Amino acid sequence: MTNKKWAVKRITVNLATQEAEKLEKYCQQTGRPATDVIRELIRSLPVSDDSKDANK
């Protein structure tokens, strides 16, 4: 099992009712916590190297 670190930055996301319900339903179906689902989705976002340098 990998060694997980605690969050470095906490964020709040405002979701529409339908979005929140969809996330909750997916989490119930998969048995995964919303935090893990959201982290996985963020990791899958395509990011070019130029964008990384511009955000520093």
| pLDDT tens digits for range 5-41 | 776 889 999 999 999 999 999 999 999 999 999 999 9
The pLDDT assigned to 16 comes to 98
Q: What span, in angstroms and rounded, lies between the C-alpha atoms of 36 and 30?
A: 11
The full DSSP string for 11-50 is: ------HHHHHHHHHHHHHHT--HHHHHHHHHHTS---HH
DSSP-derived letter for residue 51 is H
Q: What span, in angstroms and rounded, lies between the C-alpha atoms of 47 and 51?
A: 7
Match 């529409």 to its residue by tokens. Answer: 16
Q: What's the pLDDT band for 56 if we cut at 50, 70, 90?
A: low
Mean pLDDT throughout 31-56? 84
Residue bearing the bigger pLDDT, 49 or 33: 33
